[in-house]
Amino acid sequence: MAGQSGQHKSVRRSLSDKQKLNWLRLIRSKNVGPATFRDLVNHFGGSAEALEALPDLSRRGGATGALRVCSREAAEQELSAAARIGARLTALGEPEYPHWLAMTDLPPPLIYVKGVLSLLEQPMTAIVGARNGSAIGQKFTRMLSSELGRAGFVIVSGLARGIDTAAHTAAIERGTVAVLAGGIDSIYPPENADLHDAIGEKGVLLSEMPPGYRPRGQDFPRRNRLISGLSMGVVVVEAAKRSGSLITARIAGEQGREVFAVPGNPLDPRAAGTNGLIADGATIATCSEDIIDALKPMLSQPLEMRTDNAPTFDSANDKPIKMDVAQPDRERVIEALGFSPVDIDELIRATGLEARHVQIILLELDLAGRLERHGGQLVSLRDV
């Protein structure tokens, strides 16, 4: 079953060392996220040109101070730190970049990976749940994880306590991917140090953060987006009403992934979230066959790789695209924006400006820290 994941029709290329260093500098610069990164590279024709344009764009967007641009030295030090721990940096569009993650709306342009990288080519299923998972919940998780592994699925989870730990432990011999909110060398929780090391040898550790980075609260939803993005489906075993696992399930639905929920005792608070998912239309998972039967038809379908979400592979001959925006046009876009999210296409219609002009104004505002991106094509002014 593992070999039935379909043919990938796009031709994948590898970045040169110089290009990868510039990509790293760009994504590590202040106010540059995946959407801004993509628009910058595509607009200016290359990452080197985008880096050169950052300070001026930020100033034109109304920044009060100089924009912090990641230096070449800092990027080289990060790559050296990754090499010391055996981690590899892979870029969106390169052969080792996970196919399903590349199909999401705003995939990270660069991720660090360590371990048996061939596992990233296999079909994946995420299993997530409560950190205080019950004994029976963890037992059921180990059963699901083992049986899905025997069916050819690599198990993805977040290396947290409870359900995540049970999923990884049962899957490690057949294939598991641990997605980390911190750097690849950031071990959390501490009691999972041995499991972390084992996954780095037999499975895959994956993170978009630099080595040595310690996660903060806001980093976990980003981690959850990667967990669901890597996977064909997400299985929630136990989750309270307010749970990070429910965030993963919500994101999975937004990404077009299958969402499965294991029903639980209505008197157990850890079942409130999963029972709620079922009430909202998630597929009930009472055994591994429920999951396999739902995902099996997808395995024979070829994956059409998206191109609208990816930056171009810039070359040394690319020329930056110059575009001066008139101040009245900039003011028109700012006036049309508000603190409520609006679709960029609607913004273009409302202002009557060319799409390229609106995009460059949004880049200016984003780099100045004045724009909020809400996923998809929704943007708003940032309430600062």
Gap between the Cα atoms of 31 and 384, Å rounded = 14
- Average pLDDT of the chain is 90
For residue 71, pLDDT beyond 80: yes
User: What are the tens digits of pLDDT across the range 191-205?
Assistant: 999 999 999 999 999
Of 7-16, 84-93, 194-203, least confident by mean pLDDT is 7-16
CATH numeric code, 99-299: 3.40.50.450
Mean pLDDT, to the nearest integer, of 234-261?
A: 94
Environment class of residue 187 by beta-carbon count within 10 Å: exposed (0-12), middle (13-18) or buried (19+)? middle
For residue 4, pLDDT beyond 50: no
The structure's pTM equals 0.89
Confidence of residue 317 (pLDDT cuts 50, 70, 90): very low
For residue 316, pLDDT beyond 90: no
**Spans of all domains in the chain:** 99-299
Confidence of residue 315 (pLDDT cuts 50, 70, 90): very low
Gap between the Cα atoms of 265 and 269, Å rounded = 8
**Angle made by CA atoms 341, 33, 326, in degrees to the nearest 5:** 65
Q: Which of 178, 31, 189 is nearest to 111 (CA)?
A: 178
What's the confidence (pLDDT) of residue 115?
Answer: 97
